[in-house]
Amino acid sequence: MIEEMRLRDLGVIAEATLPMGPGFTAITGETGAGKTMVVTGLGLLLGQRADSGAVRAGAAQATVDGVWIVPESGPVADRVRDAGGDVEPVGNGLAELYVGRTVSSEGRGRASVGGRAAPAGVLSELADELVVVHGQSDQLRLKSAAAQRDALDRFGGLSVAEAFASYREAYLRRRAIDDELSALVAERDDRAREAETLRHQLAEIEQAAPVAGEDEELTVRAERLANSEELRFSAAAAHDVLSGDGDQPDAASLLGEARRALERVTDPTLADLAEQVADAGYRVTDIAAALAAYLADLDETGPHELAAVEERRAVLAGLARTHGSLDAAISLLDSGSARLAELDDDGERVERLTREQGVAASAVDAAADALTSSRQDAARRLGEAVTAELRQLAMPDARVEVTVTPGTETASGRDDVAILLAPHPGAQLRPVSRGASGGELSRVMLAIEVVIASVDPVPTFVFDEVDAGIGGAAAIEVGRRLARLARSSQVIAVTHLAQVAAFASNHLSVIKAHDGAVTASDVRVLAGAEREAEMARLLSGMPDSDAALTHARELLELGTELD
């Protein structure tokens, strides 16, 4: 439940603190005093869209802070911690949760959850666990088939929830198969062309049989072959210098003479140098032999090999152009084979998916029938319970039926759900969307919520003028039912009827003041004479009228007489 809410510069409210607490809290006030801003502030704490128009004139921003009492562990506390915040334990397994929202006059906003900044979406997620808000717009939503189906599903409890989950799983499974099969059939020609192109590419690559790095090696080889004459001249000249057969002495011979000259004398230093000269001679001999082999290789290759190398390079270059690089072409041999096998399997896949489609369709049929059966059982019980509840809301002869009929298949089932109302004897059952007045619709909505709360409790209910369009005895019964609902949930109601406010255990009044420049509002907890005066004002517009005060006291006394 929400324990306290603080508003600053929201609409006409300059600054106000609203103590809520358990039970039934009624919020009253003069027209234009800012009662709606209380609901607006609560909506901001629940993640609703921020509107810069709600910022008080002349203020830079509006601020709303709230304190909720929540279980110390559970979905709410877990989500708060996931968002980086935390709750403050207060004992008995409960904790305080601090949330806040600011809206600037430029439209920017910030939210905080459990002491940490968080997206407004986190507030929306928490709202699903914390509160149900009903206003006149919600009464309009009750006229929609989807809202009526959702109300029935909430009332249906676990049996409907399990049947719905089974149906949705089967429905999504069949949809996935349908989509895959449709895409496969629609793209069959494209896939056939892709397979033919891929088959040709793989054959071309396999015939070329490229090797990683081969193109680089061939580039080096081609450059060598293209310059073979210059290479031969340079290698031959070096070979002649090292061990040539010409008239000039070669390096190997000169090193041999130098070694022999050093070996003629006995001297350790010269002997060591003689060994080094001998080593140099051996190395020169090895180099000369390598040059001779190089020259022999050049003589054996010649122009015909250069033509073969260039031809091979052209083949590899073609593969690289087609596939982006030679490595990509080589890689395609592996990935392309798997893809080709997949494309060639189209016929078998169509047959397999068609069989799976039939099985999935049967599963959807069975799950839809089970969901319909669960809803029909819940519909009978909901109609009876709401009818009984309406008898307590000054509609003693009203009758409600909830029908479940075949409809268009959607992710929510194959059922059309309608709430039908016959408000008095002899009246035909008609959809509430067409057969209920504003006051009747308010009471039907309240009756449905009271009945659903018995099987699907909600911590907090907020009603924004749920009593619109009613008065007299009907208003008294609405107040009585709100008080009874408050036995199991926190109830907050913005009302303009004394008959409703009389049953509240906590009465807050939004007080309007005017200083000639700015209209501001404050919120006051009413008790005793102040509450009697506010009740009198609600009854007659005259808070000092003796007759109105007498009536107010009677209503307040009636409000304490709950069975």
Q: Is the pLDDT of residue 373 over 80?
A: yes
Cβ burial 424-443 (10 Å sphere, 16+ → b, else e): eeeeebeebbebbeebbbbb
Mean pLDDT is highest, among 66-75, 126-135, 317-326, for 66-75
Q: What confidence score (pLDDT) does residue 516 get? A: 45
Structural domain of 272: 200-344
| Number of domains making up the chain | 1
Reported confidence tier of residue 377, pLDDT bands at 50, 70, 90? very high
Interatomic CA distance for residues 475 and 520, integer angstroms: 30
In a domain, 557, yes or no: no
In a domain, 241, yes or no: yes
The pLDDT of 91-105, averaged and rounded, is: 91
Q: Is the pLDDT of residue 233 over 80?
A: no
Strands (E), 20-57: 24-29
Q: Is the pLDDT of residue 183 over 50?
A: yes
Q: What confidence score (pLDDT) does residue 172 get? A: 95
More confident residue, 270 or 359: 359
What pTM does this model have?
0.62
Q: What is the pLDDT of residues 288-342, one digit of tens each?
A: 888 888 777 766 665 567 677 777 877 888 888 888 888 788 788 777 777 777 7
Q: Which of 22, 99, 47 is nearest to 68 (CA)?
A: 99
More confident residue, 516 or 391: 391
More confident residue, 233 or 526: 526
Interatomic CA distance for residues 358 and 294, integer angstroms: 75
Q: Which two tokens stand for residue 40?
A: 């607006």
Q: Which of 47, 49, 51, 48 is nearest to 10 (CA)?
A: 51
In a domain, 121, yes or no: no
Q: What is the pLDDT of residues 396-408, one digit of tens each?
A: 888 999 999 999 9
The pLDDT of 214-220, averaged and rounded, is: 78
The pLDDT of 459-474, averaged and rounded, is: 78
In a domain, 210, yes or no: yes
Q: Which of 559, 508, 450 is nearest to 132 (CA)?
A: 450
In a domain, 504, yes or no: no
Q: What confidence score (pLDDT) does residue 515 get? A: 59
Reported confidence tier of residue 484, pLDDT bands at 50, 70, 90? confident
Q: Which two tokens stand for residue 547?
A: 């007759």
In a domain, 446, yes or no: no
Interatomic CA distance for residues 460 and 466, integer angstroms: 15
More confident residue, 248 or 6: 6
